[in-house]
A and B are shown apart, each in its own frame.
Chain A
Amino acid sequence: MATETTEYNVPDSGSKVAAAAKEFETEHLAVSMGPSHPSTHGVLRLNLELDGEIVRKCDPEIGYLHRGDEKIAENMTYNQFVPYTDRLDYLAPLASNAAYAMAVEKLANLEVPERCQAIRVVTSELARISAHLLGLGAYTMDVGALTVFMITFEEREKLYMLFEELTGARFTTSYSRIGGVTRDMPDGWMDRVLAFCEQFLPLLDDVEALLTRNRIWFDRTADIGIISKEDAIAYGLTGPNMRGSGVDVDLRRDAPYSGYEKYDFEVPLGENGDCYDRYAVRMEEMRQSVRIVRQAIAKMPGGSFYAEDAKKIFAPRKEKILSSMEELIQNFMITTEGPDMPAGEVYFEAENPKGALGFFIVSKGGGVPYRMKIRGPSFNNLSILEKVCLGGMISDVSAILGSLDFVMGECDR
């Protein structure tokens, strides 16, 4: 008996999907994200072109915080510019102060005493912890985890109390002078720093317990915003963002300055270059910073905290100015004409919390730079946005921004 067969016409599912996609193809939507958007951490504006929720084009617009720092620098003495360096990376002013002072000292070919170097290391590493804490808190808040922000801001508050005791200011510290620091550490300050480190590490473990194996955190950050090793180098990324992509460069270890070669620390590296790796690198960097701070305090050298023999660069102490004619004249010259600098060109980069903060100084002699270029690491870190945001969801943009941990003060300068 012959069976009756019916032939069904089944179009292949691929072409069906394609036809449906064509039917629902939407026009690209232009969205201006920022300049005052909570996840742009300052005044960054992204001109996004969206296809539904997918980012098809990202054009970052910067310059909203441009104050002309380089022009200002050409019109004042080297010491007068120190407060402006507070406002470059305003989340880690102590580190920017030290980086600037070291650049000018390189121009003057001036060795600062070991105690001054060690103080700068301690303050820079505390600034790094403070900057990473803020970056981490804001980053987690952007992707919806509010608790971490509370913990990190409490820790930052403790750091601010320490900074205030050391420098007299919580935020704009202006702690460096060319050839030294403004004042020595107060009595018992190092013990209080050690006490802070003691209670800080368990809290960091708490934060890690909240995030590192958290499913939601993992979903929001893993495999999001992947930056390849080649891209990280080609776009001039520096700091934790570059090391998150697995590029093994840390200027503290590889081109040591300020006595970093004396301390024992490890450089954490990421593997995939995604948002999660950049988070993990920053967490580990904070632990290493604590390690460096403890070592630096343990072998804190005695002696002077400024270069005493650099009489034409570092203004003499107040008690000497009031009692000696020679010192009075020195102080007058340094205040009015600026420190005496040789002519020449130097370029110095320091490993700051956000990356390599560079100063290119062209001097024609005298107390005022002829041209000073500031290389803000956030400027380069942001330039990769136009590539890394493409093809991702709009909700990933805030995760990427948080993981890049930029600060507009040094991006726009």
Chain B
Amino acid sequence: MIAQDLKSALQESCPDLEERDSLDWPAYNCPVAKLTDILQTLRDDHGYDALMDVTGIDNGVEASPRFTVVYHVFSSKSFGYVRIAADCEDDENPVAPTATGLYQSANWMERETYDLLGIKYDGHPDMRRILMWAEYPHHPLRKDFPLAGFENEISDPEIATNTGVKVKPAPMAGGPFVAQQSVFESKREPAAKDESWNEKNEKP
């Protein structure tokens, strides 16, 4: 009953809303452009005040639409969840609107989805990788990414003998155990600021 009310209420803000197959919570498919509107309606009018989970699904290399973004919102009043899913339009470079304007928690979870699935979030304030390092070239949760990595002519003999798969080790340039200089804001050794001379004013 509640699900029926919710559906008709959400359909007011988005007529294209469809029910999505689900084994537990109410779930809806909506056009990707309407995603933030739906989430805003859920948050402001229906009390779904916490965004618990953001993720994406790769429906397969051949499938079109290939990528689906999925949001789970939770109400701290009624203790129920709602699942909102939207298919990304572009299969090559999927883009979805960000929910960071509505929920702070979307920030890191959308970064993770971008990192692992390569779905870009339009308007996200800080679209960097989060689990993999910045130079990592692939999106490992895509279905065309093999579990052991891509086979390569110039493979690493040690990995090949251990796993039987000819892969290169993941590029570690600036990788996780190397401090990246770019993140340090300070340009020189810390010192008290002496304003009598600097790059512009010559030392007297």
Interface of A toward B, CB cutoff 8 Å: 24-30, 32, 47, 49, 57, 59, 61-64, 66, 68, 70-72, 75, 106-107, 109, 231, 233-236, 238, 247-249, 251, 254-255, 342, 344-349, 356, 358, 360, 362, 370-371, 373, 375, 379-380, 383-384, 412-413
Cβ–Cβ < 8 Å partners of A63 in chain B: 129-133, 176
- Do A380 and B70 have beta carbons less than 8 Å apart? no
- Do A360 and B183 have beta carbons less than 8 Å apart? no
Which among B20, B27, B183 has the greatest number of chain A C-beta atoms within 10 A? B183
- Do B186 and A28 have beta carbons less than 8 Å apart? yes
Cβ–Cβ < 8 Å partners of A236 in chain B: 50-52, 103-105, 109
Cβ–Cβ < 8 Å partners of A109 in chain B: 23
Least Cβ–Cβ distance between A343 and chain B, in angstroms: 8
Complex Cα gap A27–B192 (Å): 7
Complex Cα gap A247–B193 (Å): 45
Cβ–Cβ < 8 Å partners of B23 in chain A: 106-107, 109, 342, 344-346
Complex Cα gap A360–B83 (Å): 10
Cβ–Cβ < 8 Å partners of B197 in chain A: none
Question: B2-10, B53-61, B150-158, B161-169: which one contacts chain A?
Answer: B53-61
Complex Cα gap A413–B116 (Å): 12
Least Cβ–Cβ distance between A360 and chain B, in angstroms: 6
- Contacts A236-B50, A248-B76, A379-B108 known; 5 new A-B pairs at CB < 8 A: A30-B185, A62-B131, A63-B132, A346-B22, A346-B23
Least Cβ–Cβ distance between A6 and chain B, in angstroms: 35
Cβ–Cβ < 8 Å partners of B184 in chain A: 30, 32, 47
Complex Cα gap A370–B141 (Å): 11
CB nearest to A373 among chain B residues:
B55
For the complex, would chain B's binding face be called helix, strand, loop or mixed by DSSP majority? loop
Cβ–Cβ < 8 Å partners of B108 in chain A: 379-380, 383
- Do A360 and B186 have beta carbons less than 8 Å apart? no
Cβ–Cβ < 8 Å partners of B1 in chain A: none
Q: Given the known A-B contacts A26-B193, A63-B130, A63-B133, are A71 and B52 also in contact in the complex, defined by CB atoms under 8 Å?
A: no
| Chain B 162-204 interface mask (CB, 8 Å, partner A; 1/0) | 0000000000000011010001111000111100000000000
- Do A68 and B72 have beta carbons less than 8 Å apart? no
- Do A344 and B22 have beta carbons less than 8 Å apart? yes
- Do A371 and B58 have beta carbons less than 8 Å apart? yes
Cβ–Cβ < 8 Å partners of A49 in chain B: 185
Cβ–Cβ < 8 Å partners of B80 in chain A: 255
Least Cβ–Cβ distance between A26 and chain B, in angstroms: 6
- Do A47 and B183 have beta carbons less than 8 Å apart? yes
Cβ–Cβ < 8 Å partners of B57 in chain A: 362, 370-371
- Do B52 and A27 have beta carbons less than 8 Å apart? no
- Across the interface, A75 reaches (CB within 8 A) one of B52, B58, B147, B190, namely B147
CB nearest to B187 among chain A residues:
A27
What are 17 A-B interface contacts by the 8 Å CB criterion?
A26-B193, A63-B133, A63-B176, A64-B176, A107-B23, A234-B50, A235-B104, A235-B105, A236-B105, A247-B76, A249-B76, A254-B79, A345-B23, A347-B83, A371-B57, A371-B58, A413-B131
- Do A383 and B105 have beta carbons less than 8 Å apart? yes
Least Cβ–Cβ distance between A413 and chain B, in angstroms: 8
Cβ–Cβ < 8 Å partners of A238 in chain B: 52
- Do B185 and A28 have beta carbons less than 8 Å apart? yes
B62 at interface, CB cutoff 8 A = no
- Do A345 and B83 have beta carbons less than 8 Å apart? yes
- Do A344 and B21 have beta carbons less than 8 Å apart? yes
Least Cβ–Cβ distance between A17 and chain B, in angstroms: 17
Cβ–Cβ < 8 Å partners of A356 in chain B: 52
Q: Given the known A-B contacts A234-B105, A371-B57, are A27 and B191 also in contact in the complex, defined by CB atoms under 8 Å?
A: yes
Cβ–Cβ < 8 Å partners of A255 in chain B: 79-80
**In the A-B complex, the 5 residue pairs with the closest CB atoms:** A236-B105, A63-B131, A344-B23, A254-B79, A373-B55
Cβ–Cβ < 8 Å partners of A342 in chain B: 23
B97 at interface, CB cutoff 8 A = no
Cβ–Cβ < 8 Å partners of B104 in chain A: 231, 234-236, 383-384
- Do B103 and A360 have beta carbons less than 8 Å apart? no
- Do B22 and A68 have beta carbons less than 8 Å apart? no
Cβ–Cβ < 8 Å partners of B185 in chain A: 28, 30, 49, 57
Least Cβ–Cβ distance between B2 and chain A, in angstroms: 14
- Do A72 and B147 have beta carbons less than 8 Å apart? yes
- Do A347 and B191 have beta carbons less than 8 Å apart? no
Complex Cα gap A63–B107 (Å): 16
Complex Cα gap A55–B72 (Å): 33
Cβ–Cβ < 8 Å partners of B177 in chain A: 64
- Do B25 and A29 have beta carbons less than 8 Å apart? no
Cβ–Cβ < 8 Å partners of B83 in chain A: 345, 347
Q: Given the known A-B contacts A26-B192, A345-B83, are A233 and B50 also in contact in the complex, defined by CB atoms under 8 Å?
A: yes
Complex Cα gap A366–B51 (Å): 30
- Across the interface, A383 reaches (CB within 8 A) one of B21, B49, B107, namely B107
CB nearest to A56 among chain B residues:
B185
Least Cβ–Cβ distance between B197 and chain A, in angstroms: 15
B44 at interface, CB cutoff 8 A = no
Cβ–Cβ < 8 Å partners of A347 in chain B: 24-25, 53, 72, 81, 83
CB nearest to A345 among chain B residues:
B22
B65 at interface, CB cutoff 8 A = no
B31 at interface, CB cutoff 8 A = no
Cβ–Cβ < 8 Å partners of B192 in chain A: 24, 26
Cβ–Cβ < 8 Å partners of A66 in chain B: 131-132
Complex Cα gap A61–B108 (Å): 11
